Amino acid sequence: MADALRRLKTILGEVTDIHRAGAVLDWDQETYMPPGGVHNRAEQLSTLSEVAHRRFTTDEVGKLLDEAAATTAKLPFDSDDASLVRVTRRDYDLARKLPPELVAEIAHASASARPHWQKARHEANFALFAPYLEKNVELNKRVAEALGYEKRPYDALLDRTEPGLTTDQLEAIFDELKAAIVPLVADIQRHADAIDDSVLHRGFDPDAQVRYALDTVTKLGYDLERGRQDISTHPFSTAFGPGDVRITTRVSRDFFNECLFGSIHEAGHGMYFQGIGRNLDRTPLWDGASPGVHESQSRLWENLVARSLPFWHHFFPSLRKAFPEPLKGVDVEAFYRSVNKSYPSFIRVEADEVTYNLHILLRFELENDMLEGKLKVADLPEAWNELFKSYVGLDVPNDREGVLQDIHWSFVGFAEFPGYTLGNIIGAQLMEKIRSELTDLDDQMERGEFGALLSWLQEHVYQHGRKFTPNELLERETGRPLTPKPWIAYVRKKYSALYGLKH
């Protein structure tokens, strides 16, 4: 029996190594690969992913999981071995439910759709992309059918990304959010003049920005012995094991927020990776609990920490030293207000803390409607523009700045968007708990001390890796299930103060 567990771990270790090799190849593609490498790289990534999939989905792994389950049956729920068998069984069953032909068809459809999405976006012409999106919707439906669900097809997809969460629960949370944000956004708009953020556009030397960002994230706790920062078009974080967790950033001379907050966001993901227990290394447990929980850490460090006044009380003096020209005559309070300015905008990835979730709510509604057959692909742009007007209050000028902006629908991956908003919610829920324990957190941050915060997160979140579902983790560490209330309270309080609103 113990032999089965050992053999299982050997196979899972190999599968992990192959996935990590693929992650190195992905990182290289986004940072240093010469243009000519695209074709060979696609072949290599496809082979690695096939080899890993083949190795993981054999009958042998199923048999070993059965046998290992007998060994771990009496172990505590949160023990390494019991968690390994439980979580791997879930992964295995999901992987086995998808017939190889469907997997191949999905890979092919995604690869085919991407250039058409790019062309359609470039020309702001949705019709060019529509047939491919129709195919992708159909494939999302077939995935949902193959995985199975009790009530709604979206349940099947959501359970894969955010295990344990149902579409009904998500809708209830999103409704609560919407009811709070839509009037708040409108209220902020009526007081838009309260914040002038022109300082962010005064021109900041790019090299100095990158250096300052790297210096800042190491002060927060991102470990450079086991990490590094490079430049890429779209910032991301990636991990090849506990000893090698990397982040990227981008930089714009004309907009300060991009580099520093981008780096801190990715370092949030990075510190999560760096904090996962080494006891879970080379197993499926060595990862974040879910995309939502992962995003909770990027957003916690980016927004709840680095967009707070105490944070800037500590960092602003060194920032002014690094950028004396553009920051001439600017004080810490004004700078804090600038980096928190909220304004309705068309592009999700550029949205501020308040309006961001509206972009997600809209996408969730639309992809769920398409999946449930309530919305035809042909009618999508109109539906997008209507919802956008009612949520954000703006008229979408064209499909490039509307329905074609995200890459996500060019591949078969519905149910990925909710994780971004869940991240905001979970981050705030954790922070509420943290502040009840670290009551002087603001004072610590003003002194540039982030060690207690990082330790709390390591102990209560990071070390567990994927042992728990998002809800299991929240119940265990905050005492209650997923709720948007802390985030709503946080954003209301912060923005009422910033804009002088009465909430």
104 in contact with a copy of itself (CB under 8 A): no
**Residue 42 or 75 with smaller CB distance to a copy of itself:** 42
Specify the residue, 41 or 485, whose C-beta has the smaller distance to a copy of itself: 41
| Contact stretch for a copy of itself (CB under 8 A) within 130-138, 151-159, 220-228, 393-401 | 220-228
For position 452 contacting a copy of itself by CB under 8 A, the verdict is no
**Contact yes or no for 423/296 (Cβ under 8 A):** yes
Shortest distance (Å) from residue 34 CB to a copy of itself: 5
Smallest gap from residue 32 Cβ to a copy of itself (A): 6
CB 269 within 8 A of CB 221: no
Q: Residue 482: CA atoms inside 13 Å, Cβ hemisphere, count?
A: 28
Asked if residue 483 lies in contact with residue 430, where contact means CB atoms within 8 angstroms, the answer is no
Instruction: Report the alpha-carbon distance of residue 454 to residue 448 in Å, rounded.
Output: 13
Task: Give yes or no for residue 67 binding a copy of itself (CB under 8 A).
Answer: no
Tokens coding 214 = 């790297």
Give the count of beta carbons closer than 10 Å to the beta carbon of residue 297: 27
Q: Which of 283, 289, 294 is nearest to 82 (CA)?
A: 283
**Three-state DSSP class for residue 230:** strand
Binding part of the chain for a copy of itself, among 44-52, 313-321, 334-342, 377-385 by CB under 8 A, reads 44-52
User: Binding of a copy of itself at residue 7 (CB under 8 A)?
Assistant: no
User: Under a CB-based contact definition with an 8 Å cutoff, are residues 241 and 19 in contact?
Assistant: no
- In the three-class reduction of DSSP (H, G, I as helix; E, B as strand; rest coil), residue 503 is classed as coil
Tell me which stretch binds a copy of itself (CB under 8 A): 176-184, 204-212, 238-246, 354-362.
238-246
The C-alpha angle 452, 457, 462, rounded to 5 degrees, equals: 140
The region of 213-221, 223-231, 322-330, 412-420 touching a copy of itself under the rule CB under 8 A is: 223-231
Of 37 and 326, which CB lies nearer to a copy of itself in the complex structure? 37
Tracing tokens 């986004």 back to the chain, one arrives at: 30
Say which amino acid occupies 302. Answer: E
Query: Binding a copy of itself by CB under 8 A: which of 223, 406, 449, 475?
Result: 223
Distance of CA 499 to the CA centre of its chain: 28
Which residue in 43, 59, 150, 193 binds a copy of itself (CB under 8 A)?
A: 43
- Out of 91, 155, 162, 244, the only residue in the binding site for a copy of itself (CB under 8 A) is 244
Binding track, positions 11-40, relative to a copy of itself; x by CB under 8 A: --xx--xx-xxx-xx--x---xxxxxxxxx
Name the residue nearer to a copy of itself (CB basis): 222 or 391. Answer: 222
Say how many residues touch a copy of itself, by CB under 8 A.
Answer: 42
- Tell me if residue 266 is catalytic: yes
Smallest gap from Cβ 87 to a copy of itself, in A, equals 21
Min separation Cβ 96 and a copy of itself, Å: 21
Question: Which of the residues 67, 134, 162, 266 is marked catalytic?
Answer: 266
- Distance from C-alpha of 271 to C-alpha of 245, rounded to nearest angstrom: 8
Rounded to a whole number of angstroms, the CA Rg of the chain reads 23
Q: What are the C-alpha distances in Å from 501 to residues 179, 473, 486, 493?
A: 17, 35, 19, 9
Smallest distance, a copy of itself to C-beta of residue 43, A: 6
Q: In whole angstroms, how close is the CB of 294 to a copy of itself at the nearest point?
A: 20
Of 217 and 404, nearer to a copy of itself (C-beta) is 217
Euclidean distance between CA atoms 436 and 438, whole angstroms = 6
Hey, which residues does 248 pair with through a beta bridge? Answer: 230
Alpha carbons 81 and 283: distance in angstroms, whole number: 10
Q: Is 241 in the site for a copy of itself (CB under 8 A)?
A: yes
Candidate ranges 222-230, 295-303, 322-330, 390-398; the one touching a copy of itself (CB under 8 A): 222-230
Q: Site for a copy of itself (CB under 8 A): which residue of 1, 2, 3, 47?
A: 47
Q: What is the footprint of a copy of itself within residues 278-317 (CB under 8 A)?
A: 281-282
Q: Largest Cα–Cα distance of the chain, in whole Å?
A: 70
51 near a copy of itself, rule: CB under 8 A: yes
CA distances from 302 to 107, 137, 153, 213, 353 (A): 33, 33, 34, 12, 10
Residue spans of alpha helices (H) in 344-450: 356-371, 380-392, 418-437, 441-446
DSSP 281: T
Q: Could you tell me which residues are beta bridge partners of residue 172? A: none
277 binds a copy of itself (CB under 8 A): no
List the structure tokens of 329.
């005559």
Asked if 77 touches a copy of itself (CB under 8 A), the answer is no
Position 270 contacts a copy of itself (CB under 8 A): no
Where do contacts with a copy of itself occur on this chain (CB under 8 A)? 13-14, 17-18, 20-22, 24-25, 28, 32-41, 43-44, 46-48, 50-51, 223-228, 230, 240-244, 246, 281-282
Question: Which residue numbers are catalytic?
Answer: 266
